[in-house]
Amino acid sequence: MSAQEIPYKIYLSEKEIPQAWYNVRADMKNKPAPLLNPGTHQPLQFEELRPVFCDELIKQELNDTDPWIPIPEEIRNFYKMFRPSPLIRAYCLEKKLKTPAKIYYKFEGNNTSGSHKLNSAIAQAYYAKMQGLKGVTTETGAGQWGTALSMACAYFGIDCRVYMVKCSYEQKPFRREVMRTYGANVTPSPSMTTEIGKKINAEYPGTTGSLGCAISEAVEAATKLDGYRYVLGSVLSQVLLHQTVIGLEAKTALDKYGVSPDIIIGCAGGGSNLGGLVSPFLGEKIRGEKDYRIIAVEPASCPSLTRGVFAYDFCDTGHVCPLAKMYTLGSEFMPSANHAGGLRYHGMSSILSQAYHDGLMEACAVEQTAVFNAAEEFARVEGILPAPESSHAIRVAIDEALKCKETGESKTILFGLTGTGYFDMKAYEAYNNGTMSDYIPTDADLQKSIDLIPRFPGNLM
């Protein structure tokens, strides 16, 4: 089929919305290591996780054997509001770059949250409602996850309490107001409303916060409020599971036109969108059916995959969460106030960490001025103002397309456009004014927090 026969936007029908999530762990030869109890260093069991997480979500978190998890009908019906999402052939960008590469992107911004986060938010709110809970607590960085969860909780009529990373709370006031419009209670983190928040503020006066801090506060709040549980927007295997609707739809759309990507690119903070996009393709690679080059793109200011260590570490700064085996910069790493708030996390999904460790994917880190340069170039020709997080993937997609221009290769590139950047205008203002900086931590900066990773037999000993 010639390139011209492929439409600019490929839409699936509602009947083609996936009926089950794909659990890539079932096909992984080296399973991600289990979560550990920080006190005993033994694998956490279902009962130990119940005070923090919803029961059904714990079952999904611990399930590394079933390749397919059926999606409840009520969730699939909600998905119809904004799914299937379009797979777009970036003809205009290809023309601007004068590249022989064929570029596709899966656009997840066509919903009120403005991002892919609603795919998991509605699932987690659904299971909380089915369990009869009063409400949930969570953290949010850039605010897209908090917005998505606020909408999902409003839909099911349960309470939502959000701890928003302080620098994002200040940089992105309009996203905060969307959350409040949906009925959520939004608190800047670290706050003085939790014991952990008070401790972090005392230890790091004037801190702009981090996702690790906000997670700690949300978990503390959930365990102290009767009828509440904690839900997370990234990192956990259950979240990556829900996000596989992205990759499953993308693969179905490409298969319709006989297209197979050579390179698959996604931004990487905690791993939710990257894992969701690549899982079906990663499964094929693991099973030996096809080969793909998979690239995780992270900010140079918070480079967990490219400069972190593969070890058990706390998922949060306050050390109230389980230990997870992942690439990490240390749970006490405080990233700079980078404008890509959703990527300011010290660790990476255990699934993606194991895949990276096994050589199934690669990673690179990019500086934020180069990221916004790519975002601006993309916006001018493709007509979508991308989120700062998504723009990390755009940066590398453009770079790979330009390499094809040099070599004359006609590679097919697929990347994830996770959401829109219309509430990120302070970031674009800083870039347009020339006041945006590129902070890259030194090895000494990173070593300080890496040195605080727990030491026990088998872990960094």
Taking only the tens place, the pLDDT of each residue in 291-321 is 999 999 999 999 999 999 999 999 888 888 8
Please check whether residue 398 lies inside any domain of the structure. Answer: yes
- Verify that 205 and 256 share a domain, yes or no: no
Mean pLDDT, residues 332-361:
85
Mean pLDDT, residues 355-359:
98
User: Is residue 339 scored above 80 in pLDDT?
Assistant: no
User: Is residue 440 scored above 70 in pLDDT?
Assistant: yes
User: Is residue 425 scored above 60 in pLDDT?
Assistant: yes
- Verify that 189 and 245 share a domain, yes or no: no
Q: Point out the domain boundary residue: 226, 254, 271.
A: 226
> What are the backbone angles phi and psi of residue 422, rounded to the nearest 5°?
-70, -15
Per-residue pLDDT at 1:
46
Please check whether residue 293 lies inside any domain of the structure. Answer: yes
Q: CB-hemisphere CA count at 13 Å for 417?
A: 29
Which residue has 């230890």 as its token pair? Answer: 203
Domain count, the chain: 2
pLDDT tens readout for residues 44-78? 999 999 999 999 999 999 999 999 999 999 999 99
What's the CATH number where 164 sits? 3.40.50.1100
- Verify that 214 and 340 share a domain, yes or no: no
Per-residue pLDDT at 11:
95
Mean pLDDT, residues 356-385:
97
Per-residue pLDDT at 85:
97
Strand partners, 417: 107
User: Is residue 372 scored above 70 in pLDDT?
Assistant: yes
- Verify that 285 and 420 share a domain, yes or no: yes
- Verify that 301 and 247 share a domain, yes or no: yes
Identify the domain containing residue 378 by its residue range.
78-114+238-451
Mean pLDDT, residues 250-263:
97
- Verify that 221 and 242 share a domain, yes or no: no
If DSSP codes are grouped into helix, strand and coil, which group holds residue 292? coil
Q: Point out the domain boundary residue: 226, 257, 289.
A: 226
pLDDT tens readout for residues 103-162? 999 999 999 889 999 999 999 999 999 999 999 999 998 788 999 999 999 999 999 999
Calpha distance 114→389 (Å, rounded): 12
- Verify that 213 and 298 share a domain, yes or no: no
- Verify that 268 and 362 share a domain, yes or no: yes
Which residue has 């085996």 as its token pair? Answer: 325
Q: Point out the domain boundary residue: 206, 226, 246.
A: 226
Per-residue pLDDT at 112:
84
- Verify that 141 and 98 share a domain, yes or no: no
Per-residue pLDDT at 342:
63
- Verify that 355 and 321 share a domain, yes or no: yes
Per-residue pLDDT at 280:
98
